[in-house]
Amino acid sequence: MLEVRDLHAFYGKSHILHGVDLDVGEGEIVSLLGRNGVGRSTTCKAIMGLVPPQGAIRWRGASIAGLRADRIAHAGIGYVAEDRQVFPTLTVRQNLELGLKRARRFGRWTFEDVFGLFPNLGRRQDVSAGVLSGGEQQMLAMCRTLMGDPDLILIDEPTEGLAPKLVEQVGELLGEIARRGVAILLVEQKLAIALRISRRLYVMGHGRIVFEGAPADLAADAAIRQEWLEV
């Protein structure tokens, strides 16, 4: 479904990505792991058209490298940024409505679906998003992207800074997303959640993919974890 080959990206003269190759298939949860600063977020931004890419990015067989982010979103790829980017003066419900590609045209996800998964959002649907807790804002950002009914969603550090209970809720939501046929490319720091929910994993180091395999393969490879993941 998503094929990335020999992907390079730059910030000014700084060469961030050095030939990244990765794939995400239909309905897969694929995790992209690594320490801070190795290029995981830049990979998502390059796929999404927010950083100029060099290399091949194909979505359902068609090249999307270099397209505007709105065209990539309308093609069926959603993106949840690390910094959440909710609209603080709009209500929870209004933020969710902005995720729809067409007004009042729902796909696999409705207000009832997201409020069922996250009752806190339902109870606070008429509250300004700016007064939500950090965890609630993270939930809102994820659910707003789902309202656009993507076939693939790129999610950058969804559990960062969340309490353990909310981390579990996010894990449940990711599982539900996949059960509804939506593929996920998950950028994550917490190895435990990635091992539990992913079908495949990539590990990045210095702007390159240094490991690809199943969760069991990474769990058994202490050398890779020590060199590229552990602090």
Q: 24 pairs with which residues across the strands? A: 2
Q: Give 117's pLDDT tier (boundaries 50, 70, 90).
A: confident
Taking the C-alpha atoms of residue 88 and residue 72, their distance in angstroms, rounded to an integer, is 25
pTM: 0.93
Task: Provide the residue range defining the domain that includes 80.
Answer: 2-228
Q: Identify the pLDDT of residue 212.
A: 98
What CATH number does residue 106 fall under?
3.40.50.300
Q: Is 212 exposed, middle or buried (0-12, 13-18, 19+ CB in 10 A)?
A: middle
Question: 12-26, 67-81, 155-169: which range is least confident on average?
Answer: 155-169
What SS3 state is found at 30? strand
The share of the chain scoring above pLDDT 70, in percent, equals: 99
What does the pLDDT read at residue 107? 80
Phi/psi for 166 (5° steps) reads -70, -35
Q: How many domains does the chain have?
A: 1
